[in-house]
Structure 1
Amino acid sequence: MVHAEPAWAVYEQGSTFTAVNSTEVRSFTIKWPTDVKEREAVADVLDDADKELYSLRGRLAKARAIKTGMMQQLLTGRVRLPVEAS
């Protein structure tokens, strides 16, 4: 919630790493739509975003596994890349 960052700055303590305590967190208010339809629409968008993130994480894991397998094949010499003749 980037829009709330200025409000959090009021509670921050510390110079190197800022922090807030649990009492301040509990007292912080978040604006919430009063219209049920709007809340449901927001929830639907967030659900879709979660599904997309889940899918992308799965694709990333598969790509990393393929990369690892390819690197093992190349580094052990089981697979050789073609070399162009000069």
Structure 2
Amino acid sequence: MAGKGGDREFVDLLLLAQDHGIEVVETACDPAVEQDTLRLAAILNLISQSVEPVITPFSDAHSYPQLTLRPEADCKRYETPCSAEEAAA
């Protein structure tokens, strides 16, 4: 973080330690150092990945409820005009 704005990013990184804990920030900094991505945005992304829950897709497609009756669309009901009183209601 020796580049332009690096001091500010380092301070922001220390503030992240107040919000998330030093262990979480250290854990996120390790892969950032290995990947040579020492920018605050990259470290913040790694912190978010470790803090946010992982959403896994459903593994069994057959667990969804199955329709027993096929839905029938009645498009003819749109062909009959309604009166002005019904339209105002």
Task: Give the TM-score category using the shorter length.
Answer: under 0.3
TM-score, length of structure 1 as denominator length: 0.21
- The structure that is helix-richer by fraction is 1
Report which structure shows greater RCO (CA 8 Å, sep ≥6): 2
Bigger Rg, which one: 2
TM-score, length of structure 2 as denominator length: 0.20
